[in-house]
Amino acid sequence: MRRKEKEITDRSAMDAVIRGSEVCHLALALNNEPYLVPMSFGYDGQAIYLHSAPEGKKIDHFRGNKRVCFEFERVGKLLRPEGKPCGWTVPFQSVIGQGTIHELVEADQKAYALNQMVVHYGGHLGQPDEATLAKTRVWKIVIHSLTGKRSKEDVGPSIPAEPKMEPRYHELGDGRSLLIREASADDAGAVLGHVQAIAGESDFLNFGPGEFRLSEAEEAEFLRRFQASDNQIYLLGQIGEEMVATLAFSGGSRRRGRHCGEFGMSVRKDHWGLGIGSLMLDALLDWAKHSGIVTKINLRVRTDNERAIRLYTSKGFTMEGTIHRAVFLDGQYFDHHCMGLQL
C-alpha cells in the first residue's frame, strides 16, 4: 500500500469494518469480462456467506471462475471546510479481500450461513423452513487475503469484531418467552418508542414525558457507540416483537476507570412482576464477569423504590452511600441510594 499511514493491519479492526458494512461489493471475472454486483451478506469472522436465486449472471461467473474479489466500506459525512472546495473530503474505512467461492448444499450448512446473514442485519437466530432451504442457493467465500485502509478523519465507532453476547430466550411465569439481546443501531426507533412509553409510567425515572429529545439518528449513533465499546453494553428485552425492557451499562472512558461503570434499567409497567428485571440484570452480570474488563458495577436508586432495592440486594449489591435531594418532583425532594457490586 502506497500510503502506509492509512493502512489497517489489525485483523480485528478489519473485522469491525466488515461487520459495520451494509453491502458486500463482489467483483467477478469470466472470459475477460468483469462483473461487479452488490450483495447482502453474513460474516462469522472466518468466511463470508451469500445467497442467491437458482440461476443468474453471477452464478454463471461463480461456475466459470471461483476466484472473487470483495470490498466493504464505512463512509462518514462529507467534510466541507469553509472557503476550501478543493479541501472537501469524505472520511472512510474500507476492506478489500480475495478468496474463492463455493456452494453450500447440505441443509445444516445452508441454515448456518443464512443465520449469519440474519444476525448481521439485526435479526434473531432461527431454523429456516425446508421450503426456503430448498429454493435458495447459498454460497461461502473462503477468504485468502484482506487489506484495510482508513482516512485520517473519524467516521465514528466501528462495530466490534464479535457480538458481546448471544441472544437468549427465557421462559416467563405466564408461559411467554423473553428474548434478551444486545441492541444495534437498527433498534433506535423502537428504543425511542420504549423510552417515551416508560416516561409516563413511573416516577422513579430521572426524566418525565417529553423530556427525552434525541432524534432517531442521534439514538442510532448512541447505540453504535455502545456496540463499539468493549466496556459498555445496551441490552433489550423483547416478548415477540414488543420491546418490554432495556438496560444500559456504561463503563469509564479513561484507563483508570474502565473497570467500573453504572447501569440504568426500565421495564414496561404492564410487565412488572414477571421477573424480567431479574433476568435482564443476570444477563448484565454474566456479560460483565466474562468481559475481562468490568470488575465493579454501580447503580443509583430512589430510596423509596423498595421493589428495586430488594432486587438489587438479592443480586449481591450493597449500600455505599446516599445522595440527598437527588430528585425534585411535584414539590418534594427524593434521595438516591448508591449501591455497588464487586465482581
User: pLDDT grade, residue 122 (50/70/90)?
Assistant: low
Residue 114 and residue 124 in contact, taking contact as beta carbons nearer than 8 Å: no
CATH number of 4-150: 2.30.110.10
Amino acid residing at 240: G
Q: Where do the H-state alpha helices sit in the chain? A: 11-19, 57-64, 107-120, 130-135, 188-199, 216-228, 276-291, 306-314
In the chain, the percentage of residues whose pLDDT exceeds 90 is 56
In the chain, the percentage of residues whose pLDDT exceeds 70 is 94
Whole-number Å distance between alpha carbons of 151 and 283: 37
Residue bearing the bigger pLDDT, 320 or 122: 320
What does the pLDDT look like over 254-278, one tens digit per residue? 778 889 999 999 999 999 999 999 9
pLDDT at 297: 97
Residue 299 and residue 305 in contact, taking contact as beta carbons nearer than 8 Å: no
Tally helices (H) and strands (E) across the chain.
8, 16
User: pLDDT grade, residue 75 (50/70/90)?
Assistant: confident
What does the pLDDT look like over 82-91, one tens digit per residue? 777 787 878 8
Provide the mean pLDDT of the chain. Answer: 88
User: Do the first three CATH levels of 4-150 and 168-342 match, i.e. the same topology?
Assistant: no
Q: Which residues of 6-24 are buried (b: 16+ CB within 10 A; e: fewer)?
A: eebeeeeebbbbbbbbeeb
> So where are the chain's domains?
4-150, 168-342
Question: Does pLDDT of 185 surpass 80?
Answer: yes
The sign of the torsion formed by the CA atoms of 309, 312, 318, 324 equals negative
Question: Does pLDDT of 160 surpass 60?
Answer: no
User: pLDDT grade, residue 170 (50/70/90)?
Assistant: very high
Whole-number Å distance between alpha carbons of 176 and 41: 32
pLDDT at 131: 83
Whole-number Å distance between alpha carbons of 339 and 317: 6
The residues near 183 (Cβ < 8 Å, ≥ 6 apart) are 191, 223, 226, 227, 234, 235, 236, 246
pLDDT at 158: 58
Q: In terms of DSSP bridges, do strands 7-8 and 137-150 run parallel, antiparallel, or are they unpaired?
A: antiparallel
Question: Does pLDDT of 279 surpass 90?
Answer: yes
What value does the mean pLDDT take over residues 291-303? 93
Question: Does pLDDT of 182 surpass 70?
Answer: yes
Question: Does pLDDT of 144 surpass 90?
Answer: yes
> Which of 127-131, 228-232, 310-314 is the least confident region?
127-131
CATH superfamily of domain region 168-342: Gcn5-related N-acetyltransferase (GNAT) (3.40.630.30)
Q: How many CB atoms lie within 10 A of CB 233?
A: 25
Question: Does pLDDT of 73 surpass 80?
Answer: yes
Residue 342 and residue 332 in contact, taking contact as beta carbons nearer than 8 Å: no
